[in-house]
Structure 1
C-alpha cells in the first residue's frame, strides 16, 4: 500500500502540484469504492428478516465486501499505472475480486430467495455496492467496449437469478436499473479519473518542454550574436593567412608576407575585443533588461510573471547587483519550482537608504534549503558573494503552508564597485 504516500513516500508539502493532484485523485477513487460498500451493502443487515440464517448471510456479504475493497484498493494503483503506460498489469490481477463479486451476488440472491430481503431498491443498492469496487478497477484495466459487455453480462445473470426467486417483476426491474446505473457510474468514475491523471502528466511534461525551449532560445540568441561578430573576422583571418603562406611559397618579398601577417594580427586583436564585448554584454547585467527578460522567459514557460520596477533611478552598481538577483531567481523558478505565478518588486526601504528587490513565486517543492524551489544550490551562495561586494544582503524564505518562496535582496544606495565582475553563478 505504499502508493498512499507515493511518490517516494514524500510528505504532502514536498510534492509538486501535479503530484498532489494525482495522489488526491487516486485517494478519491479508493474512497469511492469503500464508501459504496459501506453505504449500500451494510443496509442488508437492518433490512434482513428475522432468523440466524438471514443475519449470517447479510453479515457474510458485508464481510466479503470489505475484503473485496482491500483487494481492489491494492489493484487499483496497478490498474491506473497500466492505463498510464508505466506498468504492465497481469491478467490474474482481478481474478479473485471477480470471484468475490460472484459469491456476494449469489448470497444476495439467496437472501431474496429465503424472503429475508424484499424490495427492488434494497437489492439494487446491495448489488451496486457489491459491484462498485471491482467495476472501478476493471473499467480502468480493460477497454470501454469490454467493460460495457461485462456489465451487460452481469446484469443478464442477475436478471435470471432474481427472476428464479419468484421476485415480482417490478422489484427485479428496479434492482436492475439501480445496479446498471451504479455499474456505469463506477466504470465512468474509474476511467475518467485515470484519463484526468494522464492529462495532468501530459501538461506537466509540456510545461517542462516549454522551460527547456525558453532556455534553448536564449542560448541560440547568444550563439547567433557570437557568430555574427566572429564570422566575418575569422573568414578574413583565414584568407590573409592563406595569402601570406602563398606569398612565402612563391618567394615574394618578405615585406609582403609580413604585411599580411600584421593585418592578421590586427584582425585577431579586434576579434578578441569584439568577443569580450559580446560576452560582457551577455554577462553585464542591466536591471530593466533583466526584468524584461525574466518576464519573457517565465511567461514562455507558462508562468504568469509580473514586475514592478520602482527603482529605475537607482545607482548603476545597485541596479547591476539587483539584476543578478533577478537573473538567478528566474533561473531557479524554471528549474526548481512548479510555479504558476511569479512577482518581482523593486524599490527602496522606508528610510530611503537601501534598495530592495522582492521576488516571490509559488510551487516551491521542498520545505527547506535554498533555491526558488527550496533546494540548496550554488546560485544563491554566489549571489550572496556578489551582494557582499556592494554591502548588500540576501534572504530566502520558504512558506511551507502556502508553497511559496520569497527572495529578498537589500543593497545600500551608496554601494560602489562593479558587481558584474566575477563568474556567472546562475545554476
Structure 2
C-alpha cells in the first residue's frame, strides 16, 4: 500500500503494538519540556529559567533514549542499558536538586515554589517510571521506585522542607513513579505476549505443512515399501532359477515387471490425491483456521456441482490465500466469495491486512498462476480499496487443459 499510512499497514500486529508502546513512553518523556520546562522559564526569568529548561530538555532526551534502548533490550536486540540507567538517575537527581535549590533561594515566592515543585515532581516521577523499562522483575522495579521516593523525601527534608511536606513529596513520587513503572512493566509483559502469540501462529502453520508432508511420506512408504520388498524377493528367486537354467525365471521377471507397473500406478494415485484439493473441504478448513487465529471469516457460495478440476484448482487458491493471511497479513476480517459468471467460476478472497504487499509477487502466488494457467484460468492479486488485499481467481467451467 502506498501513501503516508502505508508504512503502518506493512507492520505486523506485534510490530504495531511495539511502535505504539514506544510512542507512548516517548510522548511521556517529551511532554516534560512544554509542561514544566517552559512554565519554569516563564516564571523564573532568563537565568534560572534557562537553567531549569535546559535540565528538563536534557532529562527528556535521556528518558527517550532510555525508552528506545530499554525496549530493544526486552526484545533481545541489545544488552541491558545499565550505564544509561545510571545516567538517567544522575540527570534526574541533578534536575530535581537544582529545582529544590532554586526554590530555596526565594522561599517566600509562591510562583517560584509552584514552578520548581512541578519540575521536581514530574522529573523524578518520570525518571523513576521510565527506568523500569530497563529492568526485569517486579521486586527490583518496586525497590527502584521505593528508592526514588525515599531519596526524594530525604533530599527535600535535608534542604529545609518541613517534614510533613517532605513526606508528601516522597509519597507523591512513590505513587506517580509506581504508576508509570507498573504501566511499563505491564506494557513489556503484554508486548512479549503479543510476540509469543504471533510466533505460535507461525508455528501452527509450519506444523500443518509438516503434518501434510508426513502423511504424504507415509502413503509413499506404504506403497513403495510393500511392493519393493516383493520385487526384491521375486528378483532374487529369478536369479536363482536362471542360474539353474529353469524356465520359470522368465515368469518371475514378468511378475516383477507387473509389480513395477502396478507400483507406478499406485504412486501416481498417491501424488494425484496429494495434489488435488477439494474446494468444499478447503473452504471449511479456511473458515476454521482463520477463526482459530482470531480472524473473522465469511464464506459465500456453494462449490457443489462444480467439475472436479475446477474444485481442485480453486481449492489450491483457497489454501494459498489462507496461508498468506495467516503468515503475512495483519487481517482481522476475511471474506471469500464463490460465484459463476458467463461460464467462468470466480473466486474472490478479500482481507483487511493489505500491509503485506509482497504477497502479490511471492512464489506461492506465482505457483498458483501456473497451476491455473494449466486449466485456462487466471489469477490477480494486490491491494484494493482502502486497506483491503484482494485475490481474484477465474477458471472456466468447461476446463480444457492447456498443453505445455
TM-score when normalising by structure 1: 0.81
Partner of 1:3: none
Contact 1:61/1:108, CA 8 A, preserved across alignment: yes
Q: Offset at 1:155?
A: 2.9
**Which runs of 5 or more structure 2 residues have no equivalent in the other structure?**
1-5
1:408 aligned onto 2:392: yes
Structure 2 SS opposite 1:364: coil
Which of 381, 384, 394 is the aligned partner of 1:396?
Answer: 381
Quickly say closer, same or farther: Cα 1:161–1:284, change in 2 above 3 A.
closer
Which of 200, 216, 222 is the aligned partner of 2:194?
Answer: 200
Equivalent residue runs for 1:212-251 within 5 Å: 212-249=206-243, 251=244
Distance 1:297 1:58 in 2: 61
Distance 1:104 1:297 in 2: 55
Q: Offset at 1:300?
A: 6.4
Partner of 1:258: 250
| 1:90-145 alpha-carbon deviations (Å, 9 max, x no partner) | 43223332222122111221133221655998766433311244323321223443
Contact 1:121/1:178, CA 8 A, preserved across alignment: no
Contact 1:345/1:358, CA 8 A, preserved across alignment: yes
Contact 1:44/1:122, CA 8 A, preserved across alignment: yes
Distance 2:371 2:160 in 1: 88
Q: Offset at 1:160?
A: 3.0
Q: Offset at 1:305?
A: 4.2
**Which runs of 5 or more structure 1 residues have no equivalent in the other structure?**
1-9, 423-427
Distance 2:79 2:263 in 1: 59
Q: Offset at 1:182?
A: 1.3
TM-score when normalising by structure 2: 0.85
Contact 1:108/1:126, CA 8 A, preserved across alignment: yes
Partner of 1:7: none
Quickly say closer, same or farther: Cα 1:334–1:227, change in 2 above 3 A.
farther
1:355 aligned onto 2:345: yes
| 1:267-317 alpha-carbon deviations (Å, 9 max, x no partner) | 111011011111112223432243344445556666554433324223444
Quickly say closer, same or farther: Cα 1:91–1:207, change in 2 above 3 A.
same
Quickly say closer, same or farther: Cα 1:200–1:378, change in 2 above 3 A.
closer
Structure 1 SS opposite 2:361: coil
Q: Offset at 1:393?
A: 3.5
Number of residue equivalences: 396
Which of 283, 286, 290 is the aligned partner of 2:275?
Answer: 283
